[in-house]
């Protein structure tokens, strides 16, 4: 006759029963020692599944708190990109070293109180000089916000350009589209994302 496979839950039940019995025995030893005037250290009962389950919410909370602090530090670092005093602040901003869709360029948009700075490089890291740049800022979640067309007003050298007219006048998610065209790497586009 074949024996049925052991149910793992029966093993857990037996383990819990054995733990319970060992705690009862140790209490009996303590009581006897106390009657005789001896001091016996209290044994620590072994961890049970119930103890682990009761600790899980606390452990999850600690992980959540750590992740929140890391995310907060990342947001603070991202939104303080070296802009001038009075530069706008954002709840979230993806503005540094954003790759273009076909991976021809990377670009960074540095916020400032008036004109912003745009830095464009090839994926090899070479500054892109004399590029034709076209920008548009819009709110993907709000169909009533009219898109704005920021414009490049000056080439600053080293692949850096002054941009004026970046309009982020409402709270919410903003997308700043950039199209880059240069003899160095052709035409490609990318998008900066900000939450104000």
Domain 92-195 sits in CATH at: 2.60.40.3340
CA distances from 42 to 15, 24, 45, 140 (A): 21, 12, 9, 64
Mean pLDDT rounded to a whole number for the chain:
75
Q: Distance between terminal CA atoms of the chain? A: 73
- Among the residues of 80-153, which ranges form H helices? none
Q: Tell me which of 44 and 89 has the higher pLDDT.
A: 89
Write the DSSP string, 54-90.
HHHHHHHHHHHHHHHHHHHHHHHHHH-SSPPTT----
* Domain extent listing, the chain: 9-44, 92-195
Bridge partners (DSSP) of residue 148 are 137
Q: What is the mean pLDDT of residues 33-60?
A: 52
* Residue 38 in this model has a pLDDT that exceeds 90: no
* Residue 173 in this model has a pLDDT that exceeds 90: yes
What was the pLDDT predicted at 154? 96
What was the pLDDT predicted at 184? 84
What was the pLDDT predicted at 91? 86
């Amino acid at each position: 006759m074949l024996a049925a496979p052991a149910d793992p839950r029966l093993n857990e039940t037996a383990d819990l029963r054995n733990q319970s019995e060992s705690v009862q025995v140790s209490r009996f030893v303590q009581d006897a020692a106390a009657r005789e005037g001896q001091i016996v250290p209290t044994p620590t009962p072994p961890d049970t599944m119930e103890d682990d389950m009761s600790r899980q919410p606390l452990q999850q909370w600690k992980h959540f708190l750590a992740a929140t602090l890391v995310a907060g530090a990342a947001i603070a670092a991202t939104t303080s990109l070296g802009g001038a005093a009075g530069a706008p602040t954002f709840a979230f901003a993806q503005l540094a070293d954003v790759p273009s869709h076909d991976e021809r360029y990377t670009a960074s948009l540095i916020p400032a109180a008036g004109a912003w700075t745009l830095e464009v490089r090839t994926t090899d890291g070479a500054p892109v000089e004399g590029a034709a740049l076209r920008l548009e800022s819009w709110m993907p979640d709000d169909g009533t916000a009219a898109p704005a067309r920021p414009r490049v007003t000056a080439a600053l050298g080293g692949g850096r350009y002054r941009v004026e007219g970046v309009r982020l006048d409402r709270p919410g998610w903003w997308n700043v589209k950039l199209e880059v065209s240069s003899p160095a790497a052709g035409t490609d586009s990318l998008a900066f994302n900000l939450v104000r």
